Structure 1
Amino acid sequence: MVPPKPLLFPTTKHHLLKFDGLLIMLLLLFPAFVDADCNTDDKDSLLSFATNFPTLNWSAMVDCCSWDGISCDKHDRVVRLSIPKRRLRGTLPSSLQNLTNLSFLNLSNNFLSGLLPDGFFSSFNNLHTIDLSDNYVHGNLSNILPATIKEINFSSNSFFGTIPPSICINSPALVILDLSLNYFTGNIPQGFGTCSNLQVLSLGFNNLTGKIPTDINGVRSLQHLSLPGNSLTNEIGEKITSLTNLRSLVLFGNMFSGSIPLNIGKLSLLEKLELHINRLNGTLPLSLMNCTKLKILNLRVNSLGGRLSDFDFSNFTQLAIVDMGENQFGGVLPKSLFLCRSLTAIRLSTNKLEGEILPDILELPSLSFLSLSNNTFKNIIQALDILSSHEKLTTLILSKNFFNETLPAAGISGFQDLKILALGGCKLFGHIPIWLMSLTNVQVVDLSVNNINGIIPGWLQTLPNLFCLDLSNNSLSGSFPVELTRLPALASQHVLDHVNINYLELPVFVAPENASYLQYNQLVGFPPSLYLASNNLRGGIPVEIGNMQLIHVLDLSQNYFSGTIPGSISNLTNLEMLDLSRNLLSGEIPSSLKGLHFLSSFNVAFNNLLGAIPTGGQFDTFLNQSYEGNPGLCGPPMQRSCSKRSDPPPPVSEHKKGPDIIMILGPFLGFCFGFGIILTCQAFLILSERRIFPKWIHRYVIWT
């Protein structure tokens, strides 16, 4: 007997009640089944917006309130549009203006460009936050902003013109205003005094001039005032000390003159004070000691002076970074500074400090960065003996001190975490010290401009992380040690990637007067380099030099190297600067070097080279100065042409020959080809973000 077919929908009263209950529960749990879409006008506006940016993948078949980056209120009106970092390209569509209930708009970190649509803000009656930062939007800033707006971030765009004085009149509820990294010009307008709720005002890195408007000093709610990288002048003024709620005062990279406000201590909540790269003079105001919450104090590159030991730093229990380099401070190192137990970085370079480095510095348990270069400190043996005991020290820059003393050859132990050691420009005597062998974490060593003699020891190859070595301007003798070509960080990309990720507390590899926000706090900005210039090195350049495939800068100039230029240098495909000038090299320039596509500086002047200068690639960009002092060299860009030794003379016609078309077009085509190579290489260098780093900048920075 065939069993009865089961019913898909049982019809008993009991089952019907179960089904109705389930349906009601589903409707309660998923109300979208009842009202499955957002406001029609909002959806149409967003779909129109999305047609310009197909990567959004918004589907018309789905409730727009569930789209990525969209939030709605209880009435299904779109109130939040947040799509940062979506790689959106193009202009801002005017369809956004139809989202009249929008309260939050974030389109930051994209590639948006073009002018803001006319009256872009006029329809937003509820907008309280707008973030267009890190795009390419340009135009004048509208005088008409929503009255409801609280936070505006237009930083890192291309806005220009003047800053409207009516911003706070039209938008009195403003709390955050960030217009930094644009092209605004003119004075900072009066009018910010009416923004009674303003907490953050950031106008840095524009082209603003004039002085700080006086009415800003009346915004007692202000917590962060940031105006760096402009051309602001006059004195900072005492009235700024009325902003008693300030946590950060950032005014670096301007042309402020006069003294630091004497009553700066009224800003007792201050955590960050950055006044570096200005024209300030005078001494440290004693009231500054009242700013006990300070964590960052940066006053470098000014004309501040006085005996530094007269200032009591002991109240700064939270101070982590102090930078007062490039000033005129005198006296000895203040002992009170070593009572700031939170310090991680100290830079007092290029002042008039003297005396000795004392054991008190060991009272700073977290100290990682120390730069005291270009002063007149004495007793290098004691200094190194003390500092070597500091377990967390990673950067030590003592260049241009300890003049004419002797570099200790042994007896220094420690420095287990040291990554940068700079003792350049001290005129030290002695040999390359064997205690360097124990610095297994060191990455940069600068012993340049000293009186160091003897040979370059082969054990340097045992330093696994060393990628920048400067031994130039010494009295070193002997040959180029083949062991140097085996430095792991110059031969292995894996090793170099590992060492380059290290973070520094203060920027090192920038010129001191560089106010740019693009400062390097990582070793990744510094090129792998070997400087052996201006010594007494002899013999040939070893063919094994081709093993240093990651090197960017190689300077062997002003020595007595002889023999030929190794063709293996063409293996150094990352090379950007090669200087072999003023040696005794002979033979021809290897034509294979034209395959070095990143080579931007090349010099073989004043040797005994001969033959034709290679053509093609970067060689079409080098000037005559790269080859002068080599009478045997010929061909462009030298004036000497290369004679044809074996080619038979052309047959003589019985008619007078006209101008040779090849001789006419040849130089012209060669110029066009070379110019094209220049443009191509420059574009490639820019796109690949190469680290072109002139030696003089490196030397200046390490010393300062």
Structure 2
Amino acid sequence: MKKLQLHNKTYSKVLQMHCLGVALVLMVFCLPSPTSSCTEQEKDSLLRFLAELSQDGGLSASWQNGTDCCKWEGITCMQDGTVTPVLLPSKGLEGRISQSLGTLAGLQYLDLSHNLLSGGLPLELLSSSSIAILDVSFNQLNGTLHELPSSTPARPLQLQVLNISSNLFAGQFPSAIWKAMENLAALNASSNSFTGRITTQFCNSSPSFTLLNLRTNKFSGNIPQGLSDCSKLRVLRAGDNNLSRTLPDELFNATSFEYLSFANNDLHGVLDTANIVNLRNLITLDLGGNIFSGKIPDYIGQLKRLEEFHLNNNNMSGELPYALSNCTNLLTIDLKSNHFSGELAKVNFSNLPNLKTLDLYSNNLSGTVPKSIYSCSNLTALRLSTNHLHGQLSLRLGNLKYLSFLSLSKNNFTNITNALQILQSSKNLTAVFIGYNFWGEILAQDETIDGSGSLQVLDMQGCNFSGTIPVWILRATNLQMLILCGNRLTGPIPGWISSLRHLFYMDVSSNSLTGEIPLTLTEMPMLKSTDNATHLDSTVFELIVYNSPSLQYRMITSFPAVSNLGNNYLTGVIPPQIGQLKALAALDFSFNKLSGEIPQSVCNLTNLQVLDLSSNNLTGAIPVALNALHFISAFNISNNNLEGPIPYGGQFDTFQTSSFNGNPQLCDSVLTQKCNSAEAHQPVILSEKRADYKMAFVIAFSAFFGVGVLYDQLVLSRYFGKSY
């Protein structure tokens, strides 16, 4: 995460303007002279701060009592020796923040961000009459912010920028703080647990107030009506709270707004209000993740400066208005997961030359992809999946030279051969999702398709394709994820699969593949060593493609290493060399015709979280050493011809009996077939208590299955959730 979580340029510019403005002034007056030397009182205050740290990040090597503190690490003094900035971000500091820092009479800039500091925030810092910038973000500070003491000086506090984001603060934000902070211009209190209602008291007490970030807290109630009194407020972020009711009309009178976000709350109502035109300075409008309904008003076209428009995950409906074409500065349109209908051609995308992201996933849009979209030459991410679009891909797709993310899944597109030939002309494509289209067609084997050297993710699942796994995939030399499940592909798994040196996720399940498991499958470089994970490109997804209950991910490294060959017609034995694939998190060979024993080498797969060998013709005993695999949370060997006792101890104590059903010769105390005393005697690899393993199972299961459901039908077999 970047400092202050500045992912929007408007928000970033405003906060940086205040910080840099104050910092530049401080720099002019804080340049040390050759004769500057701090006072004993200030040295003592700093040493008391150091003494209260349990980990000082090496500061003690510099902060020596017998030396001039103006030369200490992170300390700068004015020419008279007064300590002004104390800048100690990302130093690995642990412990409490000493109130002694509040006695530094000339302290103007205190930065303790990105450390591991705990405890409360000393009131002496908030009530300081000299501090202009206070940044304690990204620590573990907790407790409540108390009211300022009655001894607070009557003169206004100098604090202009206060950043307490990404801590553990709770309770209500005390109103008395606002009264004393007449100069406050920017407050970032995001990612805490503050409660209560959002106050507008700062609008009156701090006339220069420009930026307020309350995102990811527990604020509740309605949006206060007094926001229109904030004549200079440019940035307001209050997403990811518990706000409810409708947007107050007064909100649209706050004409200075440039960034307005109430995403992921419980707001409702319609947006069809003419007052929205008052927000003519708006650059970012984010109302996603609420319960808004109705149509997008035509008035939206009068927001000429609008660059980011988010109405995703609401109950919006109707056609997309032509008026969007008038917002010529748009960079992002995010309307996914609504009920919009009609044809996309209603919007003239030719008027949006700066558009980079268009996300219309999961609506009811129909018709063909309009030609005007191909005029958006700066487009990097296009998602039209889960709609009712039809037709063939246009040759003009090649005009989108910067396109790296394309998702067309779950529509009614046709002519897969044409589509693949067109896609290869987009040389920057890294992620392509075209599954659940081209129903029943033959998967192209065209030798002229080069596979695109930039391609890292290819999803063509659920198309009912016939044919074989095409050799042109081999030429996608940077491919990392290959999803071909849910088709009718025949023939063997090609031996050249190991030539895809970056491939770590392969799902070819639910096809009609035949032959044996190729030995080359056990030579895949990305699956043989966990060290390879550091080489994955973490920016492959321009858009979020899946989420968990509390987090959202773009990083391809969030996906586990998977080999899923289930539900085919594979024969032969499981090769003993399978034990080389130590990076595997999920191995699924279920519903095939495999024979022979479960190789002992499977016990070497210490990262396995899912192992499914069910519904085959496997024989022999269950390897006892499998109970040493700590992380297995889903295990199934049912419907085989296995025999002998079921191992106990380790994760085996957590598996349901259904994991073993359909093996008449297996025995166990909980099965119908009981073991005799000789059979029951087996070595126990691990001896911890059963309760410990149940807890380990819960942790492993939660961690792995927290991956959740993929937006673009990228599912990790039946164990990992249903597709959207």
Fold conserved between structures, TM > 0.5: yes
Following superposition, the deviation at residue 384 of structure 1 comes to 0.6
SS for the counterpart of 2:298 is coil
Asked whether 1:190 is paired with 2:190, we answer no
Contact 2:645 2:679 in 1 (8 A): no
Q: How does 1:679-694 map to 2 (within 5 A)?
A: 679-680=695-696, 682=698, 691-692=704-705
1:676 to 692, 695, 698: 692
Asked whether 1:701 is paired with 2:707, we answer no
1:209 to 244, 247, 254: 244
The one-letter code of the counterpart of 1:361 is: L
Deviations 1:415-458 (A, max 9, x none): 12111111100001111111112111111111111111111111
Q: Which moved more, 1:325-334 or 1:212-221?
A: 212-221
1:316 to 348, 352, 369: 352
2:182 is aligned to 147
1:387 is aligned to 423
The one-letter code of the counterpart of 1:411 is: E
Contact 2:315 2:338 in 1 (8 A): yes
Contact 1:323 1:347 in 2 (8 A): yes
5+ long unaligned stretches in structure 2: 1-31, 83-105, 716-722
The one-letter code of the counterpart of 2:36 is: A
The one-letter code of the counterpart of 2:140 is: F
Larger Rg: 1
Q: Which moved more, 1:574-583 or 1:624-633?
A: 624-633
5+ long unaligned stretches in structure 1: 1-27, 649-669
Following superposition, the deviation at residue 71 of structure 1 comes to 5.9
Following superposition, the deviation at residue 499 of structure 1 comes to 2.7
2:162 is aligned to 130
Question: Identity over aligned residues, as a percent?
Answer: 38
The one-letter code of the counterpart of 2:121 is: L
2:400 is aligned to 364
2:22 is aligned to none
SS for the counterpart of 1:557 is coil
Distance 1:473 1:348 in 2: 26
Check 1:645–1:184 CA distance in 2 against 1; reply closer, same or farther (3 A cut): same
1:555 is aligned to 588
Following superposition, the deviation at residue 219 of structure 1 comes to 1.1
The one-letter code of the counterpart of 2:338 is: N
1:109 is aligned to 138
Following superposition, the deviation at residue 344 of structure 1 comes to 1.0
1:442 is aligned to 479
SS for the counterpart of 2:225 is coil
SS for the counterpart of 2:579 is helix
Q: How does 1:511-590 map to 2 (within 5 A)?
A: 518-590=551-623
Following superposition, the deviation at residue 175 of structure 1 comes to 0.5
1:460 to 482, 494, 497: 497
Deviations 1:36-57 (A, max 9, x none): 328x4x7666655554435265
1:17 is aligned to none
1:496 is aligned to 533
2:376 is aligned to 340
TM-score after normalising by structure 1: 0.86
Deviations 1:56-108 (A, max 9, x none): 65566666666655666777311221121232222223443563222211111
Following superposition, the deviation at residue 340 of structure 1 comes to 0.6
Check 1:698–1:226 CA distance in 2 against 1; reply closer, same or farther (3 A cut): closer
Distance 2:679 2:36 in 1: 90
Deviations 1:285-335 (A, max 9, x none): 111111111111111111011111232100111111111110111101110
Asked whether 1:421 is paired with 2:458, we answer yes
Asked whether 1:157 is paired with 2:161, we answer no
Q: How does 1:600-615 map to 2 (within 5 A)?
A: 600-615=633-648
Check 1:212–1:647 CA distance in 2 against 1; reply closer, same or farther (3 A cut): closer
SS for the counterpart of 1:445 is strand
Contact 1:93 1:117 in 2 (8 A): no
Distance 1:698 1:605 in 2: 31
Check 1:97–1:47 CA distance in 2 against 1; reply closer, same or farther (3 A cut): farther
Check 1:103–1:499 CA distance in 2 against 1; reply closer, same or farther (3 A cut): closer
SS for the counterpart of 1:453 is coil
Check 1:371–1:637 CA distance in 2 against 1; reply closer, same or farther (3 A cut): farther
Q: Which moved more, 1:413-422 or 1:321-330?
A: 413-422
Deviations 1:541-563 (A, max 9, x none): 11111111111111111111122
Deviations 1:606-639 (A, max 9, x none): 2222222111222222112212222222225546
Deviations 1:327-381 (A, max 9, x none): 1111011100000100111000000100100101111111111110100001111
Q: Which moved more, 1:500-509 or 1:461-470?
A: 500-509
2:111 to 68, 74, 82: 82
TM-score after normalising by structure 2: 0.84
SS for the counterpart of 2:252 is helix
2:284 to 239, 248, 273: 248
Check 1:458–1:647 CA distance in 2 against 1; reply closer, same or farther (3 A cut): closer
The one-letter code of the counterpart of 2:108 is: V
2:719 is aligned to none
1:659 is aligned to none
Following superposition, the deviation at residue 576 of structure 1 comes to 0.9
2:664 is aligned to 631
1:99 is aligned to 128
SS for the counterpart of 1:269 is coil
The one-letter code of the counterpart of 1:254 is: N
Q: Which moved more, 1:625-634 or 1:637-646?
A: 637-646
The one-letter code of the counterpart of 1:130 is: L
Distance 1:528 1:233 in 2: 41
Following superposition, the deviation at residue 494 of structure 1 comes to 4.3
Contact 2:123 2:148 in 1 (8 A): no
1:166 is aligned to 201
Distance 1:420 1:471 in 2: 14
Q: Which moved more, 1:619-628 or 1:390-399?
A: 619-628
Q: How many residues align?
A: 645
RMSD: 2.7
Contact 1:634 1:640 in 2 (8 A): yes
Contact 1:576 1:692 in 2 (8 A): no
Distance 1:68 1:197 in 2: 38
Distance 2:591 2:707 in 1: 18
